[in-house]
Amino acid sequence: MYEIRMPSLGADMENGTLLEWKVAVGDHVARGDVVGLVETQKATMEVESFVDGTVEALLVDPGTKVSVGTALARLRASEEPAVAASTGPPIAAPPPPIVALPAAIASPVPMPPPTPLAAPVASMPPASASRVRSSPAARKRALELGLDLEALHGTGPHGAIVLRDVVPPAPVTPAPMPPVPRPRPSTPSPAAPVTSPLRDAIAATMSRSKRDIPHYYLAHSISMKRAHAWLAESNARRPIQDRVLPGALLLRAVALALDEVPELNGFWIDGAFRPSEAIHLGIAIALRTGGLVAPAILDADDKPLDELMRELHDLVSRARAGRLRSSELTSATITVTSLGDRGCETVFPIINPPQVAIVGFGAIVERPWVEGTAVVPHPTITATLAADHRVSDGHRGGLFLTAVDRLLQDPEKL
Amino acid sequence: MNDLAGQILATLHRIAPDVDPGTVDRTLPLVDQLDLDSMDYQNLLAALSTDFAVAIPESDVARLRSIDDLVSYISRKHRAT
């Protein structure tokens, strides 16, 4: 028996509202299928099933606001026998204590026992708890963080989840945005008419970042002349659907440069740096309804330019439609914030904890550039880096930004 | 013509559901009035190209800015075929 619970998108999130069920009792769902829509402080998102199984019960009605960790639905995994509910007395299986796994997205719970459920979820037998390969340290850490192992991406042997994979959900990331009060009729907040829950969540996360992380900041001007020329030439041969935007080139350069300076990619947890082998780029997307979200493009360093562009296209479209998935919002190992065409020249970003670095790009603008002995106009972009001094320093950060520059000067190789 | 504008607005609403098509001024650049980013605009042009079966070469992208621009561009392309 599995339960799908109100997911947590960050330590600051306390509750969420179930908006809609996408499944009904009796429906078969496959792992990864969307079962419902949830509205949180951060965003509207899709909640996925993390098992193959059958929906046995929907425990929360649409429109209900519940705390993080509350069971929303109960599933029977495909390999489990059906519960004999049609004969005999109803099975008195009380919901498991949610305090044991406060932020689990979907957690296996024991089969309905013959006696009332007394043992906390945390003490269930390992056999039913570990359907995914994971290290003991990873399981312990996941329990501490209230994360479900099945929702995590394993980078250990045979895809096992190891300690470095167990990272808390990424909250929203910083980027200069005009505060736009967002009317939220479903969660009226008469006591605070000026702020919104999303704004409160951003403020709490950024305050924590500024308080706890000793940031250092670097900036570097990069000529985009070659990149622009290459894109123009390359896009002229493509149908509009396959057009590549400069943003995808920037992401590709960041992902490859992180291979050279890996100490910018990972997490600061419990007083230590946990590097991540996988490079999952969180993409800060400003929402026109106010605030922003940062879903991740997974394994960005392994994806060619065209694929990065397709994924970027897909992420932005789904962010606009409120169709991001909970797993996408919790996996970034570093964040990239790009102001875009209509932005200003330079962004000084704030690290999204527990990540240890954030990369910023301003708008591409025409600026004087020295070519040999001449000064000529070049499209230029200012790349910035905010990074955690507990992990790296300006020397390494500078090597990262110059690596991004170097890579962008050979766009055909990206 | 009006019908075409309505269909373009429907495509716009599909790629940017948070935008109210009723508020769009057809003469003004969409990017500025609706706060579209480059990815939104790329998504819009790609969707229009598919929906209306018109090729939109890179060299035309910069001058397609408003609903009126798009209406006249797509009408001209359809007449030419």
The torsion defined by the Cα of A258, A263, A268 and A272, in degrees rounded to 10, comes to 160
In this prediction, residue A4 carries a pLDDT of 86
C-alpha–C-alpha distance, residues A252 and A411, integer Å: 10
Which of B28, B21, B5 lies closest to B75, judged by CA? B5
In this prediction, residue B55 carries a pLDDT of 93
Are B40 and A243 an interchain contact pair (Cβ–Cβ within 8 Å)? no
Mention every residue, 6+ apart, whose C-beta is less than 8 A from residue A221.
Answer: A367, A380, A381, A382, A383
Tell me how close the Cα of A337 comes to any Cα of chain B, in angstroms.
13
Report the chain B residue with the minimal C-alpha distance to residue A343. B37
> Contact, A120 vs A109, CB < 8 A?
no
Partners of B13 on chain A (C-beta within 8 Å) are: none
In this prediction, residue B16 carries a pLDDT of 87
Number of inter-chain CB pairs under 8 A, A vs B: 64
Are A245 and B38 an interchain contact pair (Cβ–Cβ within 8 Å)? yes
Q: Is B55 on the interface with A (CB under 8 A)?
A: yes
Are B37 and A340 an interchain contact pair (Cβ–Cβ within 8 Å)? yes
Q: Is B3 on the interface with A (CB under 8 A)?
A: no
Q: Which residue has the higher pLDDT, A170 or B79?
A: B79
| pLDDT-derived band at A43, boundaries 50, 70, 90 | low
In this prediction, residue A277 carries a pLDDT of 96
pLDDT in tens, A148-205: 766 777 776 666 676 667 766 554 444 445 555 555 556 555 554 556 777 888 889 9
Which of A278, A295, A274 lies closest to A286, judged by CA? A295
Highest mean pLDDT among A40-49, A131-140, B19-28: B19-28
Q: Is A313 on the interface with B (CB under 8 A)?
A: yes
Q: How many CB atoms lie within 10 A of CB A344?
A: 11
C-alpha–C-alpha distance, residues A394 and A346, integer Å: 18
Question: Judged by CB atoms within 8 Å, which residues 317-346 of A form the interface with B?
Answer: 317, 320-322, 340-342
Partners of B63 on chain A (C-beta within 8 Å) are: none
**Confidence (pTM):** 0.69
C-alpha–C-alpha distance, residues A129 and A149, integer Å: 9
Report the residue of A37, A184, A240, A312 to disrupt the B interface, i.e. the one with the largest count of B CBs within 10 Å.
A240
Among A288, A312, A342, the residue with its CB nearest the CB of B18 is A288
Q: How many CB atoms lie within 10 A of CB A296?
A: 25
pLDDT beyond 70 at B73: yes
C-alpha–C-alpha distance, residues A347 and A386, integer Å: 10
Are A341 and B37 an interchain contact pair (Cβ–Cβ within 8 Å)? yes
Among A232, A240, A342, the residue with its CB nearest the CB of B46 is A240
**Mean pLDDT across chain A:** 80
Tell me how close the Cα of A286 comes to any Cα of chain B, in angstroms.
9
Enumerate the β-bridge partners of residue A221. A382
Exposure string for A116-148, b = 16+ CB within 10 A, e = fewer: ebeeebeebeeeebeebebbeebbebbbebbbb
**Mean pLDDT across chain B:** 91
In this prediction, residue A33 carries a pLDDT of 84
Enumerate the β-bridge partners of residue A55. A75
Among B18, B55, B57, the residue with its CB nearest the CB of A289 is B18
In this prediction, residue A7 carries a pLDDT of 78
Are A240 and B15 an interchain contact pair (Cβ–Cβ within 8 Å)? no
Question: Judged by CB atoms within 8 Å, which residues 229-248 of A form the interface with B?
Answer: 232, 235-236, 238-241, 243, 245-247
pLDDT beyond 50 at A109: no
Q: Is A22 on the interface with B (CB under 8 A)?
A: no
In this prediction, residue A251 carries a pLDDT of 97
In this prediction, residue A94 carries a pLDDT of 35
pLDDT in tens, A357-401: 999 999 999 999 999 999 999 999 999 999 999 999 999 999 999
pLDDT in tens, A220-237: 999 999 999 999 999 999
> Contact, A241 vs B43, CB < 8 A?
no
The structure tokens listed for A307 are 């694929």
Q: How many CB atoms lie within 10 A of CB A88?
A: 7
Are B39 and A313 an interchain contact pair (Cβ–Cβ within 8 Å)? yes
Q: Is B25 on the interface with A (CB under 8 A)?
A: no
In this prediction, residue A80 carries a pLDDT of 65
Are A232 and B19 an interchain contact pair (Cβ–Cβ within 8 Å)? no
> Contact, A215 vs A386, CB < 8 A?
yes
Tell me how close the Cα of A107 comes to any Cα of chain B, in angstroms.
33
Tell me how close the Cα of B14 comes to any Cα of chain A, in angstroms.
9
Enumerate the β-bridge partners of residue A54. A28, A76
| pLDDT-derived band at A291, boundaries 50, 70, 90 | confident
C-alpha–C-alpha distance, residues A122 and A275, integer Å: 28
Across A270-279, average pLDDT: 96
Question: Is the bond preceding residue A125 a cis peptide, omega within 30 degrees?
Answer: no
The torsion defined by the Cα of A23, A24, A28 and A31, in degrees rounded to 10, comes to 30
SS3 A110: coil
| pLDDT-derived band at A146, boundaries 50, 70, 90 | low
C-alpha–C-alpha distance, residues A25 and A73, integer Å: 9
- According to DSSP H, which parts of A33-180 are helical? 126-129, 136-145
- Tokens 């990972």 locate to A266
C-alpha–C-alpha distance, residues A99 and A123, integer Å: 13
Are B31 and A287 an interchain contact pair (Cβ–Cβ within 8 Å)? no
C-alpha–C-alpha distance, residues A72 and A14, integer Å: 15
C-alpha–C-alpha distance, residues A291 and A288, integer Å: 8
| pLDDT-derived band at A97, boundaries 50, 70, 90 | very low
